[in-house]
C-alpha cells in the first residue's frame, strides 16, 4: 500500500492516546516515553550517506522481524506531501525532527498506533510509546522490554561511562525523554499558570506546548518533560515527572475549587461562554477551538453537561487540527476557509 493510502486509512481510527472513560485523567491526558538510540560504527544521521541510512533501516527491519510476529507499517517520510506530514504530526506519530529530516527517513509503527519507531531522525532510531492517562511506569516496562529485545540484535552505540551516545548532548546517558500532557484551564483562569511553569523549569524540567518541543502554548495544554538524561536512571526520571504531575493535578483541582468558592459566576460563565461559542459559531480559528474545548472539557469533568461526553471531545481535539480538517473534507487548503469548516464540524458534533 502506498504511503498516501496508508495515511488516509488512519482517518478511520481514533488516536490511542486519548481515553474515552478517563477519571482524574481528564486533567492528565496522556503519558509518553521516547528512547533515542544509534548503531555502532555508523555516522549520526546528520553526517550519514544514503547508503548508511539504508543500512540503518534494513537493520531495524531485520530486528523487528526477529523479535515480533506482528506486522509493522512503514512510511517513507520523504515521499510525503506537507499535508500528510502535518497529519502524522497532529496524531503524534512523528516528531518535528523527523518531519524536517532529509533523505531516507521512515516511520515504522504498529497497527494500534501506540508504538512508533522513527528511523533516521536526529538519531538512527527513536522508539516512542504513548498511552492515555498517567501511565509512565506501565510505558517504561513495555518500552524497556522492547528496547532490550532490539538491543540483543542491534549493536547500539554505548559508552560504559556516559551511557547511550546520541547526536544531542542533552540526550546522552539514558537517551530517554519522558513526558506527560496536562489540561490546566483552572490554573489559567486563576492566573497561576505562569508561576507554575517557572516552578517546573526550576526543577530541571521543560514545559512544551501541545505540538512538542519549542511549540507555543495552546488550549491550556502543557507537556512536561525531562531536560537532561545524563547521570540519572530512567526510574528516577519517571519518579520525578510522576511526582510533579501529581502535584500539578492537585494544584489544578484546587484552582478549580477556589474559583467555584470565590468566583463562581466568573468560573461558570467562562465555561458557559466556551460552550456557546463552540456550539453556535460559524467561524472558528484553531486557537479558539483549542482554548474553548479545554474549558468545555473542564465543564464536562465537573458534570455541567449531561449530553457531552469525552468521546466527542476527544474526536474534536484531533479533528479540529488543520491537516485533519483538510483530510476529512478533501478540500484544497489554498481555496478553502478552514475556520468556517472547523466551526461547522464543531457545531454539528456538539449538536448531535
- The 10s digit of each residue's pLDDT in 22-52 is 554 589 999 999 999 999 999 999 898 999 9
Question: From CA 178, how far away is CA 95, in angstroms rounded?
Answer: 14
Percent over 90 (pLDDT), the chain: 76
CATH of domain 3-257: 3.30.590.10
Q: Give the tens place of pLDDT for each residue, 267-325.
A: 999 999 999 999 999 999 999 999 999 999 999 999 999 889 888 899 999 999 999 99
The pLDDT score that the predictor gives to residue 309 is: 86
Q: What is the pTM of this model?
A: 0.92
Domain segments of the chain as ranges: 3-257, 264-351
Cell numbers placing 114: 501506540
Kindly state the cell numbers that stand for 295: 474549558
Strand ranges (E), 13-94: 28-37, 73-76
- Of 51-55, 96-100, 117-121, 307-311, give the lowest mean pLDDT range: 307-311
Which helix (H) or strand (E) element contains residue 54?
helix 50-67
Sign for the pseudo-dihedral over CA of 119, 121, 125, 129: negative
Measured distance CA(142)–CA(19) in Å, rounded = 19
Average pLDDT over residues 56-77: 91
Distance CA 168, CA 36 (A): 10
- The reported pLDDT for the residue numbered 93 is 94
What cell was used for 83? Answer: 499535508
**Residue 352 banded pLDDT, cuts 50, 70, 90:** confident
Amino acid at each position: 500500500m502506498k504511503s498516501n493510502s496508508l495515511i488516509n486509512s488512519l482517518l478511520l481510527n481514533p488516536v490511542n492516546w486519548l481515553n474515552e472513560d478517563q477519571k482524574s485523567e481528564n486533567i492528565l491526558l496522556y503519558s509518553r516515553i521516547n528512547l533515542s538510540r544509534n548503531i555502532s560504527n555508523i555516522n549520526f544521521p546528520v553526517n550519514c550517506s544514503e547508503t548508511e541510512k539504508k543500512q540503518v533501516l534494513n537493520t531495524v527491519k531485520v530486528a523487528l522481524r526477529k523479535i515480533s510476529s506482528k506486522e509493522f507499517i512503514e512510511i517513507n517520510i520523504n515521499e510525503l506531501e506537507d499535508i500528510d506530514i502535518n497529519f502524522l504530526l497532529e496524531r503524534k506519530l512523528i516528531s518535528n525532527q523527523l518531519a524536517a529530516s532529509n533523505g531516507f527517513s521512515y516511520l515504522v509503527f504498529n497497527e494500534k498506533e501506540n508504538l512508533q519507531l522513527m528511523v533516521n531522525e536526529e538519531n538512527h532510531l527513536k522508539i516512542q510509546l504513548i498511552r492515555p492517562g498517567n501511565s509512565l511506569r506501565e510505558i517504561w516496562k513495555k518500552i524497556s522490554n522492547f528496547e532490550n529485545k532490539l538491543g540483543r540484535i542491534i549493536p547500539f552505540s554505548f559508552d560504559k561511562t556516559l551511557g547511550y551516545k546520541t547526536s544531542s548532548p542533552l540526550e546522552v546517558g539514558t537517551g530517554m525523554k519522558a513526558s506527560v500532557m496536562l489540561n490546566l484551564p483552572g490554573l489559567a483562569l486563576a492566573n497561576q499558570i505562569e508561576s507554575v511553569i517557572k516552578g517546573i523549569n526550576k526543577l530541571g524540567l521543560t514545559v512544551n506546548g501541545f505540538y512538542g518541543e519549542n511549540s507555543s502554548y495552546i488550549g491550556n495544554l502543557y507537556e512536561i518533560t525531562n531536560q537532561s538524561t545524563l547521570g540519572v536512571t530512567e526510574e528516577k526520571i519517571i519518579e520525578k515527572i510522576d511526582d510533579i504531575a501529581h502535584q500539578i493535578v492537585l494544584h489544578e483541582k484546587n484552582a478549580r475549587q477556589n474559583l467555584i468558592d470565590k468566583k463562581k459566576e466568573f468560573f461558570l460563565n467562562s465555561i458557559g461562554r466556551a460552550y456557546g461559542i463552540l456550539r453556535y459559531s460559524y467561524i472558528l480559528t484553531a486557537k479558539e477551538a483549542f482554548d474553548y474545548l479545554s474549558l468545555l472539557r473542564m465543564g464536562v469533568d465537573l458534570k455541567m453537561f449531561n449530553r457531552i461526553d469525552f468521546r466527542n471531545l476527544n474526536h474534536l481535539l484531533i479533528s479540529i487540527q488543520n491537516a485533519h480538517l483538510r483530510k476529512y473534507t478533501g478540500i484544497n487548503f489554498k481555496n478553502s476557509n478552514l475556520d468556517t469548516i472547523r466551526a461547522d464540524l464543531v457545531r454539528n458534533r456538539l449538536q448531535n
